[in-house]
Chain A
Amino acid sequence: MRNPLYLAQLKRDLERWIAEGLVDARHREAILANAGEIRLGASLSGIFFTLGAASLGVAALAFVAANWQGLGKLARLVVLFGAMWLAYGAAMHLTARGRTALGQAFVLLGVALFGANINLVAQTYHISAHAPDGFLLWAGGALLAAALVPSRAALAVGLLIAAYWTWMESLDFDVAIHWPYLAYLALATFLAHRLRWWAGLHLAMLSVLNWLLANTGGLADALGLEAADMIAFYVLAWLTVMALAQIAAARGYPFARALAHYAAFLLAVAVFCLQFAESPAGGRQAFVLNAGVAGAAIVALAFARLRQAIAPIELLGGLATAAVALAVPLLAGTEPGENLLFAWAAGALVIAFFVWIVAVGAGRDDRFLVNWGFVGLGAEALWLYTETFDTFLDSALFFFAGGVFLIALGYVLERARRHLLARKDPGGGRP
């Protein structure tokens, strides 16, 4: 059936449209029935075909592996190439006859066999090249299939293989910054956009996170940034992305809202980390770099405001966040918590930031931002409580007070969240 989240959203929107007179109430059930129309045949058969293709691939590999010793090189090549050609041949045959779902499954099988063949050819001819190169080759083959056929499943598989490729380069071979992965990711993202496959764009965004996780240390070294500068850099960079995404959303680009959510998520994580910053920071060079990124953020925010893509409160909060991010590396103590004034001020600023996120979410009727803002507030309150009372850690008082504090905090935050969402949305208040 259709995405239940989409249906729930549509239901809420319909109520509003009916109330505003945009939609005739008599059509409500018909619209919901149409939107929720179960295209079980297509979707289920697609899933079964895909699972079947994967199963066939595993069976082929197991058969070959079990009989490998008994096969001469020629026989091996016939099996390897033959299986791949058969899979793609079946895909061509079925596609030409309009059996698209089954054809796609065989394309996926072909991509899987291509990867297996890279490995088996390497075995047969004792090729022990740089190991990640094999995965790059496989990911490239998957991307080619995804682009030409076109095939969403092949694109998803390509992105997963490429993620493994970059992890191998970063973790097993200590590549400080794995730039080539970004080129692959750019192509894959462009393709997902062309296919108008939003799940693929989400996968691409998760791939960006994957890359950042593995490469942040290398990036900081390359840019000459200490930890505090790097966190500030991320705050400013994600602030810029968030503003640009809001501009794109205002122009009606469908994935822009999701992109703004990713940016808000990463921005919030970076702001939360700002309070753990230590100095000395990277000095003049780092400040100049971050000032440049702050400039970009300010221009993006101002442009977004001019295009009416963000509200005044968003502009003001964004500018304040940029200013704080620039200042923090200069003000932090040499050890976390050494500068108590900084610690308390940072805590207050983080709370102010999450209140701002909640306010922005409420203003935009954006459930994600509201929920995320409350999660941040809860996390910050817990952090401040732990920091303040950690000297009592071994006493019953800590746990008693902590329990009361947590229950009260949870109650207050949840009430506030429900109140905000209910005010914006008659059926709201639910997670």
Chain B
Amino acid sequence: MTRSWRILVVVLVQTAVLAGMIGAKVWTLETGREVLLATEPVDPTDLLRGDYVDLAYEISLVNVDLLEGAPPAREGERLYVVLAPEEDGLWRARRAVRALPPRSADEVAIRGRVEQVRETAPVFDGDGQVVQEGHATRLRMSYGIESYFVPEGTGGALEALRNEGNTRLRILVAVDGRGSAAIKGLIVDGKLVAREGLF
């Protein structure tokens, strides 16, 4: 094989990698089930890094009691969190398991990584009210949907909405059958303001 052909192989493989990144995300967007998630305020000192907004969700903190089976969760571990819709239309965590579980018709399983095992953190209810002061062990999870990239200088409005609590900003997320998630849209005050797709 000549050197030119070898360069062609390099460019084809690298293109395939990039296309794979896009394809996996678009597959999730197109085939995934839509779930509506509430956002949580983020520490204001870590709001906007560069031109993207950090997003945290109610389901970013999972009570350790929801984890089924032993041993205790450890940082870096992959877990599937089973979500189900509640009366307000928001999807919340029901249980967490280590392998892709069977789900009922009204459930989806979202795959995440345990970033931190937190001790003695307060527990909030759906309205952001403290319902339990400390002494709870919770898992801080990441699902690959924690960043929303915005045009430079336009993140402020989104941050303000996000930090008003979980009432105004909702994130529409697609979760596919393997548990992969992708941000599909932004809902502000009940109105879809942005929708994501291939183009």
Contacts and interface: CB of A to CB of B under 8 A. Distances in A.
B18 A149 contact: no
Nearest to A130: B113
A127 B4 contact: no
A385 interface: no
Interface stretch (B6-14, B31-39, B64-72): B6-14
Nearest to A154: B10
Interface string A72-100: 11100100110011001101110110000
A121 B22 contact: yes
Contacts of A81: 15, 18
Interface in A112-163: 114, 117-118, 121-130, 137, 141, 144-145, 148-149
B124 interface: no
A77 B198 CA distance: 10
Contacts of B75: 174
A95 B144 contact: no
Interface in B16-36: 17-18, 21-22, 25-26
Chain A contact residues (Cβ within 8 angstroms of B): what range? 35 or more
A125 B199 contact: no
Interface residues of B, number: 38
B108 to A, nearest CB: 19
A148 B6 contact: yes
Contact of B18 (A88, A118, A126): A118
Interface stretch (B81-89, B131-139, B148-156): B148-156
B199 A73 contact: yes
B76 A145 contact: no
A173 interface: yes
Contacts of A88: 7-8, 10-11
Contact of A149 (B3, B13, B147, B198): B3
B182 interface: yes
Interface of B: 2-4, 6-11, 13-15, 17-18, 21-22, 25-26, 51-52, 75-76, 113, 142, 144-149, 151-152, 182-183, 196-199
29 contacts: A73-B199, A77-B22, A81-B18, A88-B7, A92-B4, A95-B7, A96-B2, A96-B4, A117-B18, A118-B18, A118-B21, A121-B22, A124-B149, A125-B196, A126-B149, A126-B183, A126-B196, A128-B142, A128-B144, A128-B146, A128-B147, A130-B113, A144-B10, A144-B13, A145-B7, A145-B10, A145-B14, A148-B10, A174-B75
